[in-house]
Structure 1
């Protein structure tokens, strides 16, 4: 498996000011060339750590999640990374070795390592190795439902999960699902989608779920709200609800991405999410 990991740095002073970044009312594309030193953020409670914040709730756009790439140097980490009550998370490691302690149990995650962090679960993170460790951290305010219990934290790995071919695609399009899609305890899914060269989503999906899409490997062409956009490993796409979307894999190898979506909840018409 291959997982793109940003290295930071800055462009040479001789390079032209150009790039592929796009921001619209329906979608945003943050290409890998944007992930430079100057746009990193420090995180409270972390040591020897920097992050690239790819998505955050914005009024009128995507509202349900945040997504960060976090880089921890040797000896760095945090005793209490999540400082908001009621927030769940997913950690997906792309480089190095990460020591994750969840509710007193310690796990060492390498590239492809995946952890679901239940709302309210105490956890800590550390880099006890000699190289930098990098991971995606996706956060969402959990929406409890009467009669449905809270999901439990768990740890697994991309390499331990079998991709499930999508119906009628003969394996050209497959999804690695880390939780049961019928389990209503989970109100978000963070999956890995894989297209073989030439594989495609052959209709414009238009749905209520928001998306964060980080390209882990390969190249593809994405249709976003009527625009065709070329993307490659290291690019991030951020899609608001009902943004029409489709894609095809460009080759020569697989096109794989980490996908966030909010799921399994009724549309809220009252309370904090209601439009006034």
Structure 2
């Protein structure tokens, strides 16, 4: 598997300012080069880390989740990474190796490693390797429901999860699903969407789910609201509810992205 890994730095003074960065009432596009040294953030309680915030709850836009890209140096990490007891999380490693401890049990996450962490879980994360490690950290306030248990934590790797072909596409469009869609304990899905060259979403999806889409590999043209936008590995698309969306993967290689969406709960009737 191939995963884009941001490296920070700064564009040279000779670079053109014009770019594909956009922020509209329906969507945002954050190009890969935005993840530079001057846009990095840091968190208390960590050593040897920096991160880029791609999404955060924003009133009037997308309100259900946050998404970070986190870089951890050798020897870095945290014994108390999550400060919100209501937060659930997905971690997805794109480079290096990280040791995740969940309630005392150790797991080594390498590139493609995926972990779901329910709210209230005690977990730690450390880089015990010799190279920098990078991972995505997606967080959401878990929506508890009477009669539904909180889902259990689990750890897997993309290589161990078979993609599911979308109907009628002969494998041109598939989804790597890490959670059973029939498991209603989960109120968010974080999947990987895969397109072979020529694959497409052949209609403008217009639905209630909010999205974060981080391009892991390849390039495509993506319909966002009423505009077709070129995107490539390292770009992030942030979509509010009901933003029309479709895509065409023209090649020459695969086009793949990490996708967040909120699912399986009643719509709240108060603002």
Counterpart Cα distance in 2 of 1:89 and 1:238? 18
Contact 1:8-1:36 at 8 Å conserved across structures: yes
Instruction: Write the deviation string for residues 165-214 of structure 1: whole angstroms up to 9, x where unpaired.
Output: 01111111000000001111000000000001000000000000000000
Indicate yes or no: 2:154 matched with 1:154. Answer: yes
Q: Is this contact kept in 2: 1:19–1:33, CA < 8 A?
A: no
| Counterpart check, 1:268 vs 2:265 | no
Q: How many residues align?
A: 271
Residue 221 (structure 1) aligns with:
221
Query: Any gaps of 5 or more consecutive residues in structure 2?
Result: none
Distance 1:220 1:203 in 2: 15
1:241 match: 241
Q: Do residues 164 (structure 1) and 164 (structure 2) align?
A: yes
The worse-fitting range, judged by mean Cα deviation, of 6-15 and 229-238 is 6-15
- What's the TM-score once normalised by structure 2's chain length? 0.99
Pair 1:110 & 2:77 matched? no
Quick check: 1:181 aligned with 2:153?
Answer: no
Q: Please give the residue correspondences for 1:1-276 in structure 2 after superposition, counting only pairs within 5 Å.
A: 1-269=1-269, 274-275=270-271
The DSSP-based 3-state class of the residue aligned with 1:159 is helix
Distance 2:16 2:69 in 1: 26
Q: What TM-score, normalized to structure 1?
A: 0.97
Shift of 1:241: 0.2
Report the CA distance between 1:33 and its aligned residue. Answer: 1.0
Q: CA RMSD in A?
A: 0.6
**In 2: Cα distance, 1:6 partner to 1:250 partner:** 23
